[in-house]
A and B are shown apart, each in its own frame.
Chain A
Amino acid sequence: MAESSNAPAVFQPWRDPNETPYVSIERVTKKFGEFVAVYELSLEIYRKELFCLLGASGCGKSTLLRMLAGFEQPSSGRILIDGVDMAGIPPYERPVNMMFQSYALFPHMNVAQNVAFGLKQEKLPASAVRKRAGEMLELVKLGAFAKRKPHQLSGGQRQRVALARSLVKKPKLLLLDEPLAALDKKLREHTQFELMNIQEQVGVTFVVVTHDQQEAMTLSTRIGVMDEGELIQIGTPTDIYEFPQSRYVADFIGSVNIFAGKMIVDEPDHVVIHSEEAGMDIFVNHGVSAGPDADVWAAIRPEKMHISREDPAREQNCVRGIVDEVAYMGDFSTYLVKLESGKIVRITQPNLLRGNPDRILWDEQVYLHWDASSPVVVTK
């Protein structure tokens, strides 16, 4: 692909006004009887993106994926892939392939036959089919397993067969339904990177559905967070994590402490939120687009809070509490601290010293404090 001279160094086609979207979902609604699975959803995905649809189960993300694949037809709205309206085009004629959550390997065919199945439908000569299927098996490092049946493979190997099978036809768009959910934790982490590598090698646009926020954070160029059939925020992993636009997103991605409060000072460069829940005024050193006296919520990530026995003697953003619970996780520890208002706050601290004899324990009185830049203020 020819890069224009002013192309950004980072892959961010959605910021480039000259880019045309590769997949356009335009105000798509899907109803099953009375139940609305997807509501008025619009989304643009660009070439070579790895886009994650993230949401709790039942949020409509799988339905959206199935509409892209052609297994479901939108009740209204339209879907364009590479400029072509997909309405009425059956799954077997779409330039789209899907990797299923259950992998859906054909149990009566061996690995090579599974991978070659898609190519055989195109009536290619047998030698070309064999060559291409062989290449795909090499790509997923399963060349030695070509003659095995699916039930003779481990979960990770089956996952790779499914990936090879769905990539063999060089689709314009690859849909992955919970691609890693079936693997154990260690293998999953390893496979995440492998999946990204393969995506870079083949240059196919990926749309991944997942409920695992950590998976979405690692894999994606952008994440779309879905709730009740609607996309509530689209952004890069950093955007979604550091600048959530709603309590739902803040809470769904990672863990967070949310303090309900009222805006008492509203200046362009700082705001102050009076929170009964925190038993204090929270000072935030950036402006927020909400009127004075508005009901707002300040969200602070556990790792962005500090905990100490001594009073840090700060004027702002400091509160006292009693340690309620300590969880040692190895690389870091999680503290649950009960504030005087009764609210429980979660703080994580890295364990920088080995076997620290001076670490904070249960029932100690502690001070929590944070930078004025740490809270994110959301209005919904």
Chain B
Amino acid sequence: MNQRRFFVPTAMVLGFVFLYAPIVSLIVFSFNKSKLVTVWAGFSTQWYGALLQNDQILQAAWVSLRIATLNATAAVVLGTIAGFVIARFRRFRGRTLFTGMVMAPLVMPEVITGLSLLLLFVAMEAALGWPAGRGFLTITIAHITFSMAYVAVIIQSRLSDMDESIEEAALDLGARPAKIFFQITLPIIAPALVAGWLLSFTLSLDDLVIASFVSGPGSSTLPMVIFSKVRLGVSPEINALATILVAVVAIGTIISGIFLARQRRARERDMQMAKADIAD
């Protein structure tokens, strides 16, 4: 008993140190005065200032943000359609194949996804002349292909939890299917849509491998710039940039977590209501 009381917290502390010590040291050293990353020379925010002067980084950040936003929006639209089809259209030819294909990008190695997309874009350019060259557009398309799968999973799981008779009731009251989708289904699953958007946004902001395959000149994303800079040695500037990225991703994750929790609470409430309803 005593041993356990000692062991569990220790294991937990060690685990957290292992996971978060690198990030904490990165954040701490981003406020270092010295140019040497490993030597502490006093507090300073000069590297954040330097960051704002660095056009290359600012441009890459702007590219990344635009790609992430566009990607998240498109992925939510397509992923919602895919998730809706999987959850609501129970019987159609090729349903299993469709479901498998939608979910496949989740388990596909990034290198394979990146390489195959690169080959596709090259072939398409040769055959159709579109997309012309590689860059902003191809990265966005590539990100949508895998973000969509995540959104589809989130939406599908939310829809299969939702009481289908709610949609039937709307149908019964005279609303047409398309109207029901927009007036009943979408508002009910809205928290899942927001969570899916934020998840897609962070996935896109994080991605290095796929973007490296399908990017072209002048369209380097932020992770690509960081990666290429680090190969020339770690500078405190990169620490500052990474700190900002950690903050952005953390905020995104927390907000999406709040929405998912709210959705879970709503679902629990639904279930409780249903249980109270079924309970004799």
Contacts and interface: CB of A to CB of B under 8 A. Distances in A.
Contact of B274 (A98, A102, A108): A102
B176 A104 contact: no
A102 B279 CA distance: 11
A245 interface: no
Contact of B174 (A103, A121, A155, A182): A121
B172 A98 contact: yes
Given A92-B175, A92-B176, A151-B273, A108 B187 contact: yes
Given A102-B163, A106-B184, A108-B187, A182 B277 contact: yes
B89 to A, nearest CB: 15
Interface in B144-179: 163, 165-166, 168-176, 179
A92 B279 contact: no
Interface on chain B toward A: helix, strand, loop, or mixed SS? helix
B55 interface: no
Interface in A94-113: 96-98, 100-108
Interface string B221-249: 00000000000000000000000000000
Nearest to A175: B172
Contacts of B276: 155, 182
Contacts of A182: 276-279
B270 A107 contact: yes
Given A92-B176, A102-B165, A108-B188, A117 B170 contact: yes
A97 B277 contact: no
Interface string B251-269: 0000000000000001001
Contact of A103 (B176, B188, B277): B277
Given A102-B274, A103-B277, A108-B187, A117 B175 contact: yes
A106 B172 CA distance: 13
Contacts, number: 84
A166 B172 CA distance: 9
Nearest to A117: B173
A169 interface: yes
A18 B253 CA distance: 71
A301 interface: no
B253 to A, nearest CB: 26
A92 B174 CA distance: 4
A106 to B, nearest CB: 6
A104 B169 contact: yes
Contacts of B269: 151
Contacts of A166: 172-173
Contacts of A122: 174
A121 B175 contact: yes
Contacts of B274: 102
Interface string B119-133: 000000000000000
User: Which of B163, B171, B173, B188: most chain A Cβ within 10 A?
Assistant: B173
A77 interface: no
Contact of B277 (A93, A151, A155): A155
A71 B169 CA distance: 10
Nearest to A116: B173
B126 to A, nearest CB: 48
A181 interface: yes
B132 to A, nearest CB: 45
Contacts of B171: 71, 90-92
Nearest to A121: B174
A93 B188 CA distance: 24
A108 B163 CA distance: 13
Nearest to B166: A104
A181 B280 contact: yes
A92 B171 CA distance: 5
28 contacts: A90-B171, A91-B172, A92-B172, A92-B173, A96-B172, A97-B172, A97-B173, A101-B277, A102-B278, A104-B163, A104-B166, A105-B166, A105-B169, A106-B169, A107-B266, A107-B270, A117-B173, A118-B173, A121-B174, A151-B269, A158-B273, A158-B277, A166-B172, A166-B173, A169-B174, A182-B276, A182-B277, A182-B278
Given A102-B165, A121-B174, A121-B175, 16 more contacts: A70-B172, A71-B168, A91-B171, A91-B172, A92-B172, A92-B173, A97-B173, A101-B278, A106-B166, A107-B188, A117-B173, A118-B174, A151-B269, A165-B169, A181-B277, A182-B276
Query: Would you list the 8 A-B pairs with minimal beta carbon distance, nearest first?
Result: A121-B174, A118-B173, A182-B277, A104-B169, A104-B165, A100-B165, A108-B187, A91-B171
